């Protein structure tokens, strides 16, 4: 469902477009009459509106481009209408005065198109076959980007450089003196000409990076010097980077030389702070540089269309590690059989693959635990404070529209209503960021839940932290932003960012982890203990919410599996239309949970059990389920993960050794030996047959 602010926004956008067309119409009519005051006002307002929309509402103007009414057509039409007006105004000689102005205007547009051609050439020379981060690229001779208005923003350049022309011609219309129009055109021509010449300097050898062939030679040299052993491969959309980011700390802790391999250029800046070198291969042909490198294995946190391309490299072993485990069918994708191994948290996932019968052999499933869960604090008993903190973290509705995917639609409001009715509850509501993206009903329910929580806060009162708490949060946020926000000039392009993001200086990942922990402490300390919270931003992360909560209410998702590492009480909403017995049997992660109906029956009893552990009948079951889902605590998950990585690297080494020991002559020789053996066997068979006939 569209948000409440979307309708007024569309009204504003529609009004702006209607105003532009009205100004074009007014400019045309007043140019033909002519009526100079209104003509000048309409022309000036038309250009000003276009410039404003271009800078503030570029998405709106993109709609005009779809109907071939782009910025070039609009500006050309405005200028032609001005020339029509000058023809109709008495006192301006068409041949002696307007003709030179028309010729000069034609020259301005020729220079504009010439500048655009130079911009295309510059962009092509600055687009490298690879993109890197955390790698010293000084040998590539990278340079800073040219001004964005010259190289990348054709619309801004045309409109901005047209201002002197329009002003000069309108002054000419007001004074009937062509001198002013000539000055305006001279200024515009000078600006566009000088801009084109300045932009062309980026085509000179001094400002050009190495060509594609030299770049790939440099990459081969870097790979030979760095000697990577294990890489994480990732490809995805703009909102999927979290699937890779959750594995950064684990990757950097492995024995060997780690590497991150990406496929989309934009994804380079989506990866969180890390010291691990990053290489993006936009084209599959360039990615095959890895085949001759020392890289032994790749970790895959997600299945993507481009994954099949890297699986073609025979020298590399591949392990699917997923980005979370749950009882959903998506956790057992048949594509998993394309990998050499499938790494899972514990026995539950192993069983899940075998039950799914999708072609993944049991010998290829490796239990490694979940190394990312180490920040989650274990259960410390019943809550001791005034309030019981409950985290309600429902998942989203999914692609298939199954009502059992999310509890938000059928049960969310009932659950929240029951929780808010208990004066001893402090609620943390953290919905999935994609809630409402597929089902408008989920989006509407999500908004109602947030409104309920905000309304409940108005009915509570009590002491609040002093101003020093807010100041501390602001200070910690500034430190964290400084470490995590990669700030570049607005004109910075991909090549300039590569140049600035060379070899890391210090342990950036550790610094960010320390700053994040300090920020989280300040964040939770900036609110009173009685205040409910709606958390929709990426910070604080879900694990930080885990550590604040005494109880989790969620759906069938990886959130439940991760929560179980704490062994705290939890509940799962059953909106699938199953009986409780069927639900528990179908979703093993819910076997140690309190099952809530869509009506939220049982919330009151659940809260009692949390506050009085002797009433908690699921404690032992949670401990058993934790080990079943996540594997044993000893050895630690990271140690098991690292051992699995070393083992797969050893398998890659063994294969390379076998391939190196084989020479071309082996295969024909083997065939000749096999043929000779077959002939000998056939002769023996014929001889035995002859002897049998003689005996008979």
Residue pLDDT, tens place only, 185-219:
999 999 999 999 999 999 999 999 999 999 999 99
The token pair that represents 50 in the structure block:
């276009």
Residue pLDDT, tens place only, 422-476:
999 999 999 998 888 888 999 999 999 999 999 999 999 888 999 999 999 999 9
Q: How many helices (H) does the chain have, and how many strands (E)?
A: 26, 14
Which helix (H) or strand (E) covers residue 428, if one does? strand 425-429
pLDDT above 70 (res 243): yes
pLDDT for the residue 158: 96
Least confident of 174-178, 199-203, 485-489: 485-489
Average pLDDT over residues 153-162: 95
pLDDT above 70 (res 512): yes
Residue pLDDT, tens place only, 93-139:
876 778 899 999 999 999 999 999 999 999 999 999 999 999 999 99
Average pLDDT over residues 53-80: 88
Q: Could you tell me if 429 and 545 are in contact, meaning their C-beta atoms sit under 8 angstroms apart? A: no
pLDDT for the residue 62: 80
State what percent of residues in the chain have pLDDT above 90: 68
SS3 for 631-691 is: CCCCCCHHHHHHHHHHHHHHHHHHHHHHHHHCCCCHHHHHHHHHHHHHHHHHHHHHHHHHH
Average pLDDT over residues 239-251: 90
Neighbouring CB atoms inside 10 A of 414's CB total 18
Average pLDDT over residues 400-419: 89
State what percent of residues in the chain have pLDDT above 70: 92
pLDDT above 60 (res 86): yes
Residue pLDDT, tens place only, 12-26:
778 888 999 999 999
pLDDT for the residue 694: 40
pLDDT band at 686 (very low <50, low <70, confident <90, very high): low
**What is the Cα–Cα distance from 259 to 489, expressed in whole angstroms?**
27
pLDDT above 80 (res 643): yes
Q: Could you tell me if 328 and 684 are in contact, meaning their C-beta atoms sit under 8 angstroms apart? A: no
Residue pLDDT, tens place only, 299-356:
999 988 899 999 999 999 999 998 877 666 656 788 888 999 999 988 988 888 888 8
User: Which whole-number Å values give the CA distances from 459 to 297, 421, 422, 456, in the listed order?
Assistant: 57, 11, 13, 5
Beta-carbon contacts of residue 111 (< 8 Å; ≥ 6 apart): 189, 192, 193, 196
Residue pLDDT, tens place only, 555-603:
988 899 899 999 999 999 999 889 999 999 888 889 999 999 999 988 9
Query: What pTM was estimated for this model as a whole?
Result: 0.82
Determine whether domain 227-369 maps to CATH 3.40.50.11820.
yes
Q: Which CATH number fits domain 379-457+531-630: 1.10.1840.10, 1.10.3720.10, 3.40.50.2000, 3.60.20.40?
A: 3.40.50.2000
Half-sphere exposure of 155 (CA within 13 A, CB side): 20
**What is the Cα–Cα distance from 405 to 402, expressed in whole angstroms?**
6
223: helix, strand or coil:
helix
pLDDT for the residue 680: 66
The token pair that represents 591 in the structure block:
């076997």
**What is the Cα–Cα distance from 198 to 71, expressed in whole angstroms?**
23
The token pair that represents 558 in the structure block:
């990886």
- How large is the greatest C-alpha to C-alpha distance in the chain, in angstroms? 130
The token pair that represents 211 in the structure block:
């060509």
Residue pLDDT, tens place only, 70-83:
999 999 999 999 99
**What is the Cα–Cα distance from 404 to 329, expressed in whole angstroms?**
13
Residue pLDDT, tens place only, 212-238:
999 999 999 999 999 999 999 999 988
pLDDT for the residue 417: 96
């Amino acid at each position: 469902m569209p948000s409440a602010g979307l309708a007024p926004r569309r009204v504003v956008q529609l009004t702006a477009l209607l105003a532009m067309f009205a100004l074009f119409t007014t400019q045309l009519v007043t140019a033909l009459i002519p009526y100079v005051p209104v003509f000048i006002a309409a022309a000036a307002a038309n250009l000003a509106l276009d410039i404003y929309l271009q800078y503030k509402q570029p998405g709106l103007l993109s709609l005009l481009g779809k109907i071939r009414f782009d910025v070039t057509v609009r500006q050309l039409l405005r200028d032609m209408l001005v020339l029509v007006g000058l023809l109709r105004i008495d006192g301006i000689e068409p041949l002696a005065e307007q003709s030179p102005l028309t010729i000069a205007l034609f020259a301005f547009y020729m220079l504009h198109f010439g500048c655009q051609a130079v911009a295309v050439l510059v962009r092509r020379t600055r687009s490298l076959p690879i993109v890197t981060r955390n790698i010293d690229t000084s040998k590539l001779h990278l340079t800073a980007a040219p001004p964005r208005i010259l190289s990348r923003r054709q619309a801004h350049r045309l409109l901005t450089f047209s201002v002197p022309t329009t002003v000069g011609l309108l002054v000419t219309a007001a004074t009937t003196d062509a001198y002013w129009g000539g000055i305006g055109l001279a200024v515009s021509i000078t600006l566009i000409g000088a801009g084109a010449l300045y932009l062309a300097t980026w085509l000179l050898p001094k400002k050009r990076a190495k060509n594609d062939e030299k770049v790939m030679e440099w990459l081969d040299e870097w790979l030979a010097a760095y000697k990577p052993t294990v890489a994480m491969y990732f490809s995805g959309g703009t909102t999927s980077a979290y699937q890779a980011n959750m594995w950064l700390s684990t990757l950097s802790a492995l024995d060997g030389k780690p590497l991150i391999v990406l496929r989309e250029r934009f994804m380079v800046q989506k990866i969180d702070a890390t010291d691990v070198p990053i290489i993006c291969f936009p084209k599959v042909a360039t990615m095959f540089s890895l085949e001759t490198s020392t890289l032994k294995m790749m970790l895959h946190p997600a299945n993507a269309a481009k994954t099949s391309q890297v699986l073609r490299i025979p020298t590399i072993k591949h392990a699917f590690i997923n980005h979370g485990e749950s009882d959903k069918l998506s956790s057992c994708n048949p594509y998993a059989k394309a990998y050499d191994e499938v790494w899972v948290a514990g026995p539950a996932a192993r069983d899940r693959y075998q039950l799914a019968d999708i072609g993944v052999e049991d010998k290829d499933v490796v239990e490694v635990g979940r190394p990312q869960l180490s920040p989650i604090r274990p259960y410390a008993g019943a809550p001791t404070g005034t309030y019981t903190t409950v985290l309600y973290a429902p998942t989203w509705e999914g692609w298939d529209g199954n009502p059992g995917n999310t509890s938000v639609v059928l049960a969310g409001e009932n659950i929240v209503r029951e929780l808010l009715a208990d004066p001893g509850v402090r609620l943390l509501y953290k919905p999935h960021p994609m809630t409402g993206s597929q089902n408008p009903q989920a989006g509407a329910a999500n908004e109602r839940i947030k409104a309920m929580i905000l309304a409940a806060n108005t009915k509570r009162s009590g002491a609040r932290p002093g101003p020093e708490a807010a100041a501390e949060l602001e200070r910690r946020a500034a430190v964290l932003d400084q470490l995590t926000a990669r700030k570049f000039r607005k004109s910075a392009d991909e090549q300039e960012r590569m140049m600035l993001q060379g070899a890391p200086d210090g342990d950036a990942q550790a610094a960010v982890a320390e700053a994040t922990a300090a920020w989280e402490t300040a964040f939770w300390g900036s609110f009173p203990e009685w205040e409910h919270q709606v958390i929709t931003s990426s910070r604080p992360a879900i694990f930080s919410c885990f550590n604040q909560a005494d109880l989790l209410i969620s759906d069938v998702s990886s959130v439940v599996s991760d929560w179980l590492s704490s062994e705290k009480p939890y509940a799962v909403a059953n909106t699938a239309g199953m009986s409780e017995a069927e639900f528990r049997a179908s979703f093993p992660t819910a076997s140690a949970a309190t099952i809530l109906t869509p009506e939220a029956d049982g919330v009151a009893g659940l809260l009692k059990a949390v506050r009085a552990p002797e009433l908690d009948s699921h404690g032992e079951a949670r401990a058993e389920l934790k080990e079943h889902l996540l594997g044993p605590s000893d050895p630690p998950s990271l140690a098991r993960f690292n051992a699995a990585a070393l083992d797969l690297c050893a398998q890659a080494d063994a294969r390379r050794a076998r391939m190196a020991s084989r020479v071309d002559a082996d295969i024909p020789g083997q065939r000749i030996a096999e043929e000779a053996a077959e002939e000998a066997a056939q002769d023996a068979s014929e001889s035995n047959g002859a002897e049998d006939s003689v005996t008979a």
